[in-house]
């Protein structure tokens, strides 16, 4: 059944993930949506991926190319898409059958993106005791845009947890060369400039945690968090360049308002080791000024305090609890989930949040070009 006459195109990008690929393709084909288009782009795999892809015959559209990376794979797949809504699904992830229905039910002509929650799974597809992101309550397109223009970031997720407007993607892709951020960071950074970003606080897919994950390493290293800090800086630079072109004003040194960036710097100081205490106040300020629920802000603040003042062995343990899914204790995940759920007790009403956000939304400068 199609709601609102919206169709979905799923682009499965794959490189040497044959052991997971069939689950990803099957989950895309199982989406309850009509019209539905499934495109699989193989980025030069050398394992059994090609045989797996060919076994689906005409049920899917295929594209085989030399190894060029995720951005090139998604860009090539986008050129084949003919439906209004596009999901870039990593080949080690999978979608719930009802994901398309939920996205379409929220879609409007002004929507450029619908983001939703992912449940972590392990190598064997078994549920890991983690869901993410734990979106704060009351996120609206207006509050998201306001937060983006304040801090260069807002609560968002990976491409597998996001459905994009094809029109938006065609306008901004390919991502220009020279930006050191991933495709999900780049698209998340600019999408609120082009239309509404809707948030569904529902699990509509699964994110696989395994030894080859880019974002779920099993070790805590300085290089890992330096990479994060660099990516966040590049994301802010990409946003700034787009804002300059589209006529939006941004604060000076906007990256200092990015809580994730401040936390990455604090993590680096823990691991080097380096002086930690001078980083505490900027991190606390970024936390308390963020769009997160009060309980989430307090959790981030307490975590920052532990990293800044606790003995290093305890600070390292706090890092592991947060950044290594496979080592996260059930107690830690239970506490985080309770904080997420209790946020509804302290959030303003949706109507009040909408009005307040609209009243405070930074104005866009008038420029000598039209915007879409």
Neighbours of 168 (CB within 10 A): 20
Please identify, in words, the CATH class of the domain defined by 8-208: alpha beta
pLDDT the model gives residue 219: 78
**Dist CA 161 CA 183 (whole Å):** 13
Q: Which residues touch 356 (CB under 8 Å, ≥6 apart)?
A: 348
pLDDT value at residue 223: 94
Residues of the chain within CATH 3.90.550.10 domain(s) are: 8-208
Query: What is the reported pLDDT for 101?
Result: 96
**pLDDT number for residue 352:** 39
Per-residue pLDDT of the chain (372 residues; tens, 9 = 90+): 344 578 999 999 999 999 999 999 999 999 999 999 999 999 999 999 999 999 999 999 999 999 999 999 999 999 999 999 999 999 999 999 999 999 999 999 999 999 999 999 988 889 887 888 999 988 999 999 999 999 999 999 999 999 999 999 999 999 988 898 889 999 999 999 999 999 999 999 999 987 666 444 567 899 999 999 999 999 999 999 999 999 999 999 999 999 999 999 999 999 998 999 999 999 999 999 999 999 899 999 999 999 999 999 999 999 988 887 666 666 555 555 565 555 555 444 433 333 333 333 333 333 322 222
At residue 13, the pLDDT reads 95
List own/partner pairs for 49-55 with CB under 8 A and 24 or more apart: 49/14, 49/15, 49/16, 49/17, 49/18, 49/21, 49/91, 52/18, 52/21, 52/22, 52/25, 53/14, 53/21, 53/25
Of 108, 111, 110, 162, which is closest to residue 135 (Cα–Cα)? Answer: 162
Q: How far is Cα 240 from Cα 235, in angstroms, rounded to an integer? A: 9
Diameter of the chain measured on Cα atoms:
60
**Omega prior to 35 cis, within 30 of 0:** yes
The per-residue pLDDT for 59 is: 97
Query: Model-level pTM?
Result: 0.85
* Radius of gyration (C-alpha) of the chain in whole angstroms: 20
Q: For residue 273, give both structure tokens.
A: 């080791």
Q: What is the pLDDT of residue 228?
A: 93
């Amino acid at each position: 059944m199609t709601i609102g006459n919206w169709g979905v195109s799923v682009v499965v990008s794959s490189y040497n993930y044959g052991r997971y690929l069939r689950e990803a393709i099957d989950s895309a084909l199982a989406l309850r949506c009509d019209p539905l288009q499934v495109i699989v782009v193989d980025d030069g795999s050398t394992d059994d991926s090609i045989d797996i892809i060919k076994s689906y015959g005409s049920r899917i559209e295929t594209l085989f190319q030399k190894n060029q990376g995720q951005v090139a794979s998604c860009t090539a797949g986008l050129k084949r898409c003919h439906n209004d809504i596009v999901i870039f699904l990593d080949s080690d992830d999978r979608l719930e059958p009802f994901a398309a229905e939920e996205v379409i039910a929220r879609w409007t002509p002004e929507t450029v993106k619908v983001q939703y929650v992912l449940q972590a799974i392990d190598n064997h597809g078994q549920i890991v005791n983690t869901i993410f992101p734990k979106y704060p309550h009351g996120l609206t397109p207006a509050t998201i845009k306001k937060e983006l223009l304040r801090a260069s970031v807002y609560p968002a997720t990976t491409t597998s947890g996001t459905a994009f407007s094809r029109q938006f993607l065609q306008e901004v892709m390919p991502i220009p060369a020279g930006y050191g951020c991933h495709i999900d960071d780049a698209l998340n950074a600019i999408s609120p400039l082009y239309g509404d970003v809707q948030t569904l606080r529902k699990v509509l897919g699964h994110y696989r945690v395994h030894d080859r994950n880019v974002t779920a390493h099993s070790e805590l290293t300085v290089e890992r968090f330096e990479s994060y800090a660099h990516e966040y800086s590049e994301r802010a630079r990409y946003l700034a360049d787009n804002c300059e072109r589209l006529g939006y004003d941004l604060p000076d040194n906007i990256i200092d308002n990015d809580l994730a960036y401040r936390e990455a710097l604090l993590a680096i100081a823990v691991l080097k080791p380096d002086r930690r205490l001078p980083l505490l106040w900027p991190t606390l300020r970024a936390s308390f000024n963020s769009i997160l629920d009060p309980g989430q802000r307090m959790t981030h603040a307490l975590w920052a305090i532990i990293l800044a003042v606790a003995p290093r062995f305890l600070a390292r343990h706090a890092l592991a609890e947060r950044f290594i899914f496979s080592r996260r204790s059930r107690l830690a995940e239970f506490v985080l989930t309770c904080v997420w759920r209790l946020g509804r007790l302290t959030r303003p009403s949706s109507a009040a949040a909408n009005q307040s956000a609209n009243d405070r939304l930074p104005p866009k400068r008038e420029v000598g070009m039209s915007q879409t």
